[in-house]
Amino acid sequence: MTYDFVGRSNLEVSRICLGTMHFGVSADRAESFRIMDAALEMGINFFDTANVYGRAAGPGATETIIGEWFDQGGGRRDRVVLATKVYGQMVSSPGPNEKKGISTYKIKKQVADSLRRLRTDHIDLYQVHHIDRRISGEEFWGTFENLHRNGDVSYFGTSNFPGWGLVKYQMIAEQRGDLGIVSEQTQYNLLSRYPELEVIPAAEQFGIGVMPYMPLAGGLLTGKKSAQSGSRTAEVESEYGLPISQNTQLAEFSRICAEVGEPEFIVAIAWVLANPAVYSAIVGIRSVKHLEGLDRAASLELPPEILDRLGKVFDINRGRALKPGPAPEAFAW
Catalytic residues: 53
The answer to whether 239 touches 267, Cβ cutoff 8 Å, is no
Q: How far is CA 63 from the centre of its chain?
A: 16
Strands 46-48, 16-19: pairing kind:
parallel
Cβ proximity of 211 and 184 under 8 Å: yes
- The 3-state DSSP class for residue 192 equals strand
Quickly list H helices, 101-227.
104-118, 137-149, 163-175, 199-205
- For residue 215, whether the previous peptide bond is cis, meaning omega lies within 30 degrees of 0, is no
Under 8 Å between Cβ of 183 and 127: yes
**CA dist 180 → 75, 77, 208 (Å):** 29, 25, 9
Q: Which ranges constitute the DSSP H helices of the chain?
A: 29-42, 61-70, 104-118, 137-149, 163-175, 199-205, 232-240, 248-260, 264-273, 294-299, 304-313
